[in-house]
């Protein structure tokens, strides 16, 4: 037998080689034109927190009000209406924070088991509450910060006034556990600011969170969680 490849076989080999080269070329082109990877999903924006639990005490935001740069003598609580009180003015702004605490446990909590502390802004700046002696005229009569709470009772109100920088945004207020709650840590509640009403800011209005024993409520102008 002859070892020569006939013309027909040569043509078949050449055709097969061409086809293989063509297929490889297509594969290379497809690999080069590989579609881009789908974009990574955007991280979800954290939702604002208006309610936290410290031990057996649920603390909820009732309202946070931007009072502007003046605490007006005309807006003091009823019991001080006839006192010789003058306006208090700042170059920045006053903010009033009102929360309510409710015992969701089974036993009465001790005095001092809950409170609200400093306001913190988006830059980590800390603003302490004004002392009761400085702003007691503008605080409500039924102000029960740190008071003991009986289980299942109507929530009790806690209100404080702060002097905060005008440039501060995304404000949060600390919710503090009592010294006896060693395992509990302070938590943060977002402040959804409202604009002050023409009358005293504790006058009744409409609120997303209300206290049935307080008559305190509010209409949100949504100055952010600001």
Cβ-contact 154, 144 below 8 angstroms? no
In a domain, 41, yes or no: no
In a domain, 27, yes or no: no
Q: Provide the pLDDT for residue 181.
A: 65
In a domain, 35, yes or no: no
Number of domains forming the structure of the chain: 1
Question: What are the residues facing 159 on neighbouring strands?
Answer: 98
Cα–Cα nearest to 100, from 58, 67, 43: 58
Q: Provide the pLDDT for residue 34.
A: 64
In a domain, 34, yes or no: no
**DSSP conformation letters of the chain:** ---PPPHHHHHHHHHHHHHHHHHHHHHHHHHHTPPPPPPPPPPPPPPP--EEEETTEEEEEEEEEEEEEEE-GGGS-GGGTTS----EEEEEEEEEEEEEEEE-SSSPPPTTSEEEEEEE-TT--EEPBPPHHHHGGGS-TT--TT----TTPPPEEEEEEEEE-TT--S-EEEEEE-TT-TT---EEEE--EEEPPSS-TTS----SS--TTT------------
Q: Provide the pLDDT for residue 160.
A: 96
Residue reference for tokens 């037998």: 1
Cβ-contact 173, 142 below 8 angstroms? no
Q: Provide the pLDDT for residue 183.
A: 77
In a domain, 31, yes or no: no
Q: Provide the pLDDT for residue 111.
A: 92
CATH of residue 152:
2.60.40.1240
Cβ-contact 62, 209 below 8 angstroms? yes
Q: Provide the pLDDT for residue 221.
A: 36
Instruction: Tell me phi and psi for residue 155, to 5 degrees.
Output: -55, 145
- Residue span of the structural domain in which 120 resides: 51-195
Query: In Å, how far are 38, 55, 64, 128 from 160, measured between CA atoms?
Result: 49, 22, 10, 10
Q: Provide the pLDDT for residue 20.
A: 77
d(CA 4, CA 110): 106
In a domain, 88, yes or no: yes
In a domain, 131, yes or no: yes
Per-residue pLDDT of the chain (226 residues; tens, 9 = 90+): 455 666 677 667 777 777 777 777 777 766 666 677 788 888 888 899 999 999 899 999 999 999 999 998 888 877 776 678 888 999 999 999 999 999 999 999 999 999 999 999 999 999 999 998 889 889 988 899 999 999 999 999 999 999 999 999 999 999 999 876 667 889 999 999 998 765 444 443 333 333 333 333 333 434 344 4
Q: Say what the pTM is.
A: 0.69
């Amino acid at each position: 037998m002859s070892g020569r490849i006939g013309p027909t076989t040569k043509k078949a080999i050449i055709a097969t080689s061409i086809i293989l080269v063509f297929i490889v070329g297509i594969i290379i082109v497809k690999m080069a034109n590989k579609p881009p990877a789908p974009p990574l999903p955007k991280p979800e924006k954290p939702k604002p927190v208006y309610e936290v639990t410290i031990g057996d005490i649920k603390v909820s935001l009732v309202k946070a009000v931007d009072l502007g740069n003046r605490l007006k003598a005309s807006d003091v609580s009823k019991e001080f209406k006839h006192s010789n009180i003058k306006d208090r003015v700042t170059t920045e702004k006053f903010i009033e924070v009102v929360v309510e605490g409710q015992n969701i446990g089974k036993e009465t909590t001790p005095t001092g088991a809950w409170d609200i502390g400093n306001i913190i802004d988006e830059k980590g700046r800390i603003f302490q509450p004004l002392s009761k002696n400085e702003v007691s005229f503008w605080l409500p009569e039924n102000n029960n910060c740190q008071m003991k709470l009986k289980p299942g009772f109507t929530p009790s109100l806690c209100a404080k006034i702060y002097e905060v920088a005008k440039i501060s945004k995304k404000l949060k207020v600390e919710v503090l556990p009592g010294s006896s709650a060693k395992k509990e840590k302070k938590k943060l509640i977002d402040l959804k600011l409202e604009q002050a009403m023409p009358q005293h800011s504790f006058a009744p209005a409409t609120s997303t969170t209300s206290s049935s024993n307080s008559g305190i409520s509010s209409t949100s102008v949504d100055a952010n969680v600001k």
